[in-house]
Amino acid sequence: MLIGEWKSGKSSLIRALSREDYASRKVLAVDFFRNFVNTPSEFLENRRFYPALITAAADCDVLAFVQDATRRSCQIPPAFASMFNRRVIGVITKIDLPEADVRRARRFLENAGVREMFCVSVTRGEGMEALRAAVEGA
């Protein structure tokens, strides 16, 4: 299950990891595609939707908090990972862009309680094999 802000790269990650055609679009409801669950950004950005995230995560093996490396802020609350009784990984996206700050993105995810992180560029393929192995090995 992927959790992240709007335009953080969740749909692109699903397309790259599944190696299938998954359309990038604004997800308005929990979206199931093969072994992936894509969550609306509003579920993270609005506290009243946290129970929906917890419920959607119940049947998932791995939760991925997706953080765009170009963002200067983070909507993932401190210690958010502790709400889930699942393996939580962090995925730092868009590391290939000039304005990317991977250290800042890593701090955001660490603050959210994530200990296992992957830095990826979907366009260049950087870090994707390690992420794929971690997700498939779950």
pLDDT at 31: 77
Whole-prediction pTM: 0.91
- Tell me the domain boundaries of the chain: 2-136
Fold of 2-136: Rossmann fold (3.40.50)
Residue 28 has a pLDDT of 67
| pLDDT tens for the chain, residues 1 to 138 | 999 998 898 988 988 888 777 666 666 677 778 888 889 889 988 899 999 999 989 889 999 999 999 999 999 999 999 999 899 999 999 999 999 999 999 999 999 999 999 999 999 999 999 999 998 875
Please list, residue by residue across 30-49, b when 16 or more beta carbons sit within 10 angstroms of its beta carbon and e when fewer do. Answer: ebeeeebbbbbbbbbeeeeb
How confident is the model at residue 131, as a pLDDT? 95
Q: What is the pLDDT of residue 83?
A: 92
